[in-house]
Structure 1
Amino acid sequence: MDYMEINRANWNSRVPVHVGSDFYDVEGFVAGRSPLRSFERAEVGDVSGRRLAHLQCHIGLDTLAWARLGAEVTGLDFSAAAVAQAESIAARCGLPARFVTADVYDAAEKLGRGAYDIVYTGVGALVWLPDLTRWAQTVAALLKPGGFLYIAEFHPFPDILDEATGATLKHDYFDREPQVWVEPHTYTGGEELEHQTSVQFLHGLGDVVSAVGAAGLRVEFLHEHDFTLFQRFATLEAADGGYRIPDGAPRLPLMYSLRACAAGAP
């Protein structure tokens, strides 16, 4: 199974649907809206004048949001269609940015070893990678001494629960077999996709932390959050631009964020 080509075709199909969707709201972004969550901006800190690489950047909205905050940004994605849209949006916004089409595992060679103060990866990215150890080694190779990795991601724990209530154990947390999905629509809705098959890889929180540590990066924090960006379970309620478990009910970790630093002085 060539997971890379299957997923590339799937994501190429998603690009025009995403660009025209209310979910991504490209026109709103061009007008000044930021897709970055407040906790991301707070945890990453001031990016003015810092070199930031965004791995698996898709159509580049998060990448360009960091550019608006003063970072010198480079985005990388394996979908040429997504990169073309990212370049177009950057031009419309008048934002300086570099976008590269490449496999994430080739990022160090394509973007430059030891060239970045920050490597950023946003929500929904890690499930597309079969090998977190190799990914973390790639991140470490990109970072300058004293630079850091920042991850904002969906927590893996909710993936084992039933979709209706989030109250019943339904899946095996430790199942690491590739998951093949055939879905006619992407998560933004819209028209049917031309290529509907995708391959995803589940990773536990321990898998992520262990891979980062094995690559020589020192974890500064791992924060688990009780909110998410979409209605993961029917019982979640809209709150503060996201979704939470109703007040009074036992809470679950729905997202997490991690920051890990490379050795040496910046």
Structure 2
Amino acid sequence: MEITIIVEVKILASETAWWETLFVVLDKLGSIKADYTLIRSSALFAQGIVTQQDQAAPDRLELSIQWDLAQRVYEVFGAQEEKNRRADCESFQVHYQNLTITFYAYLNTVVVTDPDRLEIVHTNRTIWVKGLDYYLHSLPREHPDSRALQNYFRQLQQHNSQLNQAAWNQAAYDAWIQRHGPPQVLAERIKKDPLARLASLNKYLPAIEGKKIINLLGSHGTKAIALAVLGGQVTIVDISQENAQYAHEVAAAAGVQLRYIVADVLNLPTEELDHSYELVFMELGILHYFVDLAPLAQTVERLLRPGGRLILQDFHPVSTKLLKSSSKKHKVSGNYFDKSLHTTNVAFSKHLAAETHKASQQVYLRYWSLGEIVTAFAEAGLFIRRLEEEPNSKIDDMGIPKTFTLVAERLPVSVSD
């Protein structure tokens, strides 16, 4: 279920005037059915980001409008100043209640199809803005506004991590008992055929014996314990103490050593980020827990030794973002470029009896496109060795990608370095 982001801002006098002016502008645009998007400092402020330049409400409004309605907007707002024309855009200004209002009309574009356009709500009014994610990735990292955005996303991630931690410590242990059986039973299955437990990861794995391996968001530890049975020195990082309890008991029953760090993967101890791991792996249903992939990718880079490998396997965005399937029928019901947050139950809740479900098991997810995923790890300095898209194994879903696997490496340090 998609959620609408409610922007709560402490109202000061200048802020009140800014919002009032905005609503007057939006009412006028609505009267002529002119589509718009708040952009630049106006988009940032409307979503709770106060720029270093302003320190409070901006003294301006900046909006992108549908280009073929620019002349109509110009007339409705009684603009007097001459339009500023560029090859790809024309703009003009009007002044109202000490605010400068600038309209930008980007030629031959459609405002409503902008993939970075996001709906927010303020005082029960719907407002369309350019999403923060766009500015986070388009501004230079050292830009003051970028630093404000990084701080905002860091706080949002911490909030989501707290929600996830609370959710994953509500009967997760019991859920794994229901799903996989008692630890002794699962341990015997893993020992009998550890390669079977690794399933589709096998073709990407290096030789395991003696390798230092870390499994991020490793949950109940089945894959990590299989790697330990094969001779790996395995560490799991996960936010749930109940996941850790189940994994430790399975590992003990299997007769292998397992190191388990109960922590937010983005807040690992500094001494852990020492470029010492030969393999980092993550798999199935994990990327959507991150509101920004850059910190995760940077963590992976800091874990890997030169020549070390990342294996990331997750559900394909076509399946998670775009298609809704029922038996042999497939319907495009989503937006592949959607950047909004969604709410859902924690992953293990389907294994619990109905009476144990709790409202606090609702968490927030962000679904990523394949391009966003690959770019995040490439920008962190990892060399992309391989990207494979795997089909669904069900006959009814033949031809539709179900998962993908990304293999990347931290390049060896050259002699000149």
TM-score bin, normalised by smaller chain: 0.7 to 0.9
**Structure with the larger helix share:** 2
Query: 2:245: which partner in 1?
Result: 84
Query: 2:370: which partner in 1?
Result: 205
Q: Once superposed, what is the RMSD of the aligned Cα atoms?
A: 2.4
Q: Does 1:145 align with 2:306?
A: yes
Q: State the SS of the aligned residue for 2:330.
A: coil
Query: 2:385: which partner in 1?
Result: 220
Farther off after superposition, 168-177 or 106-115: 106-115
Distance 1:91 1:23 in 2: 16
Normalised by the size of structure 2, how large is the TM-score?
A: 0.55
Cα deviation 1:98-135 (Å, max 9, x = unaligned): 10111111236263421100001011111111111110
Farther off after superposition, 145-154 or 184-193: 184-193
Structure 1 residues 102 and 176, CA, compared in 2 at 3 Å: closer, same or farther? same
Query: 1:172: which partner in 2?
Result: 335
Structure 1 residues 38 and 18, CA, compared in 2 at 3 Å: closer, same or farther? same
Distance 2:167 2:271 in 1: 23
Distance 2:350 2:400 in 1: 22
Query: 1:40: which partner in 2?
Result: 201
Q: State the SS of the aligned residue for 1:119.
A: strand
State whether residues 74 and 99 of structure 1, in contact with CA within 8 Å, keep that contact through their aligned partners in structure 2.
Answer: yes
- Alpha-carbon shift at residue 245 of structure 1 (Å): 3.1
Q: State the SS of the aligned residue for 2:309.
A: strand
- Alpha-carbon shift at residue 255 of structure 1 (Å): 0.6
Distance 2:349 2:208 in 1: 32
What code does the residue aligned with 1:103 have?
D
State whether residues 118 and 147 of structure 1, in contact with CA within 8 Å, keep that contact through their aligned partners in structure 2.
Answer: yes
Structure 1 residues 168 and 216, CA, compared in 2 at 3 Å: closer, same or farther? same
State whether residues 108 and 139 of structure 1, in contact with CA within 8 Å, keep that contact through their aligned partners in structure 2.
Answer: no
Structure 1 residues 255 and 14, CA, compared in 2 at 3 Å: closer, same or farther? farther
Q: Does 1:187 align with 2:350?
A: yes
**Structure 1 residue runs of 4 or more that deviate by more than 6 Å after TM superposition:** none
Structure 1 residues 185 and 142, CA, compared in 2 at 3 Å: closer, same or farther? closer
- Alpha-carbon shift at residue 196 of structure 1 (Å): 2.5
Which of these residues, 220, 225, 229, is aligned with residue 68 of structure 1? 229
- Alpha-carbon shift at residue 250 of structure 1 (Å): 5.4
Distance 1:161 1:213 in 2: 27
Which of these residues, 2, 18, 22, is aligned with residue 179 of structure 2? 22
Farther off after superposition, 123-132 or 205-214: 123-132
Query: 2:395: which partner in 1?
Result: 245
**Higher RCO (CA 8 Å, separation ≥ 6 residues):** 1
- Alpha-carbon shift at residue 25 of structure 1 (Å): 7.0
Distance 2:202 2:373 in 1: 21
Q: State the SS of the aligned residue for 1:135.
A: helix
Larger radius of gyration: 2
Farther off after superposition, 134-143 or 53-62: 53-62
Distance 1:24 1:130 in 2: 33
Which of these residues, 161, 177, 182, is aligned with residue 323 of structure 2? 161
Counterpart mapping for 1:40-59 below 5 A: 40-59=201-220
Q: Does 1:130 align with 2:278?
A: no
Farther off after superposition, 210-219 or 180-189: 180-189
Query: 1:109: which partner in 2?
Result: 270
- Alpha-carbon shift at residue 185 of structure 1 (Å): 7.1
State whether residues 14 and 193 of structure 1, in contact with CA within 8 Å, keep that contact through their aligned partners in structure 2.
Answer: no
What code does the residue aligned with 1:210 have?
T
Distance 1:32 1:185 in 2: 21
Structure 1 residues 60 and 36, CA, compared in 2 at 3 Å: closer, same or farther? same
Q: Does 1:3 align with 2:142?
A: no
Q: Does 1:261 align with 2:409?
A: yes
Distance 1:114 1:214 in 2: 17
- Alpha-carbon shift at residue 201 of structure 1 (Å): 1.1
Distance 2:218 2:348 in 1: 20
Cα deviation 1:223-256 (Å, max 9, x = unaligned): 11112xxxxxxxxxxxxxxx4233xx75111011
What code does the residue aligned with 2:380 have?
A
What code does the residue aligned with 2:338 have?
D
- Alpha-carbon shift at residue 210 of structure 1 (Å): 0.2
Count residues with an aligned counterpart. Answer: 249
State whether residues 185 and 193 of structure 1, in contact with CA within 8 Å, keep that contact through their aligned partners in structure 2.
Answer: no
What code does the residue aligned with 1:42 have?
K
